[in-house]
Structure 1
């Protein structure tokens, strides 16, 4: 990762916006996260470095596949 980007919990900090460095950092995370046996595994790996607002949907999908309730509903 570029030394101009500081990863944090749920966010990345940059002293000054540089779209090329940001795209390069994202590409590095994607490259290190794949290949994987399926998209869900690759997405989970990426999500450890780059959390996104819909990451819970993978958990829902896995639970449904095994006949379990959503972990996010009471």
Structure 2
């Protein structure tokens, strides 16, 4: 069940991302792409040394793009 929800969430994100990609300014596109790739790379290579405090330092560089992504793509 958890994997199904994960896949559903990823598909929803991809759908929203593709749908709104043309509305994003050219200055923001590299920031968004690099942030998403950075979060995926950090999640793959970060050591599992326990605790959110330890792993958060690997995800911090992608947060700026994540905030832009949320503010732009999930507007009503």
TM-score interval w.r.t. the shorter chain?
0.3 to 0.5
TM-score by length of 2: 0.31
Instruction: Indicate the structure with greater strand content.
Output: 1
TM-score by length of 1: 0.32
Relative contact order, CA 8 A, sep 6+: which one is greater?
2
Instruction: Indicate the structure with greater helix content.
Output: 2
